[in-house]
């Protein structure tokens, strides 16, 4: 099953590259360009944990209207940050984490965002998803960012058979050709949010249905 899924992958990703042009890009993509993009990618991804994209987007925009650098963010009190990012999940904890992240960036990295997995994971509130997004989207370096969409679809396609996003990342690192690493998250997140949804995906109108084994799909539209 895995070998067949890998052989189908180039065509499936080629189709998705065309399809995603019709869908809204993942939230982090909206902050991936322009001045201070690296910092914005890091902060918006920290905010996105257990939070809907629409909520993350609005909270990030409010925060970045007041602060676009570590130095500017540290001028805000915790109460101000909480008010700006509410109602993202765990906003009290995230406000504290953002404050400490900015302190570390200034103390250790001259206000810059580090680019190694080890350095990023040492920042409070930063897990592998966030670190990989900063590495791939921000620094343009190879990495595999796995969220719930990438985890679900990779299993649905038969590429992996895993229980958690972290397990999926490690499994994909062993089998996924490196040329796909950077784009894999964006393509599958767009696909997962708009078409290949957790419950009752739109299989009848899916452009890659012929290549998809639909593992675990019990009902579809």
Q: Is the pTM of this model over 0.95?
A: no
Whether 53 is catalytic? no
What tokens were used for 142?
């190879």
Catalytic one of 129, 166, 178, 218: 129
- Digit-coded pLDDT (tens) for 35-91: 899 999 999 999 998 898 899 999 999 999 999 999 999 999 999 999 999 999 999
Q: How far apart are CA 71 and CA 84, in angstroms?
A: 17
Is 87 inside a domain boundary? yes
Per-residue CA distances from 16 to 88, 120, 150 (Å) = 30, 30, 13
Q: What is the CATH number of the domain that holds 124?
A: 1.10.340.30
Q: How far apart are CA 55 and CA 207, in angstroms?
A: 30
pLDDT reported for residue 26 = 82
Do 31 and 132 belong to one domain?
yes
pLDDT reported for residue 27 = 78
Do 204 and 174 belong to one domain?
yes
Instruction: From 117, 138, 159, give the residue that closes a domain.
Output: 138
Do 117 and 167 belong to one domain?
no
pLDDT reported for residue 42 = 96
- Provide the number of structural domains found in the chain: 2
pLDDT reported for residue 2 = 84
Residues of the chain with pLDDT under 70: none
Q: Are 27 and 48 in contact (CB under 8 A)?
A: yes
Whether 147 is catalytic? yes
pLDDT reported for residue 33 = 78
What tokens were used for 129?
């998803």
Domain hosting residue 178, numbered range: 2-23+144-211
Q: How far apart are CA 91 and CA 59, in angstroms?
A: 10
Instruction: From 138, 169, 187, give the residue that closes a domain.
Output: 138
Q: How far apart are CA 93 and CA 171, in angstroms?
A: 31
Catalytic one of 21, 83, 108, 147: 147
Is 218 inside a domain boundary? no
pLDDT reported for residue 152 = 98
Q: H or E stretch including 96?
A: helix 91-109
């Amino acid at each position: 099953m895995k070998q067949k899924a890998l052989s189908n992958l180039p065509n499936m990703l080629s189709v998705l590259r065309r399809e995603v042009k019709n869908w809204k890009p993942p939230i982090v993509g909206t902050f991936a360009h322009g001045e201070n993009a690296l910092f914005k990618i890091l902060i918006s991804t920290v905010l996105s944990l257990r939070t809907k994209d629409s909520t993350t987007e609005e909270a990030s925009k409010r925060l970045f209207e007041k602060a676009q650098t570590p130095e500017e963010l540290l001028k805000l009190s915790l109460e101000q940050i909480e008010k700006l990012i509410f109602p993202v999940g765990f906003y009290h904890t995230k406000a504290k984490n953002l404050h400490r992240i900015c302190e570390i960036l200034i103390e250790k990295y001259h206000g810059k965002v580090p680019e190694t997995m080890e350095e990023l994971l040492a920042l409070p509130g930063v897990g592998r998803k966030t670190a990989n997004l900063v590495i791939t989207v921000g620094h343009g370096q190879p990495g595999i960012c796995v969220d719930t969409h990438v985890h679900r679809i990779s299993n649905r396609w038969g590429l992996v058979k895993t229980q958690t996003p972290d397990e999926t990342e490690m499994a994909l690192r062993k089998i996924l050709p490196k040329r796909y690493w950077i784009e894999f998250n964006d393509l599958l997140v767009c696909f997962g949010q708009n078409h290949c949804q957790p419950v009752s995906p739109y299989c009848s109108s899916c452009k890659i249905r012929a290549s998809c084994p639909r593992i675990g799909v019990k009902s579809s539209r």
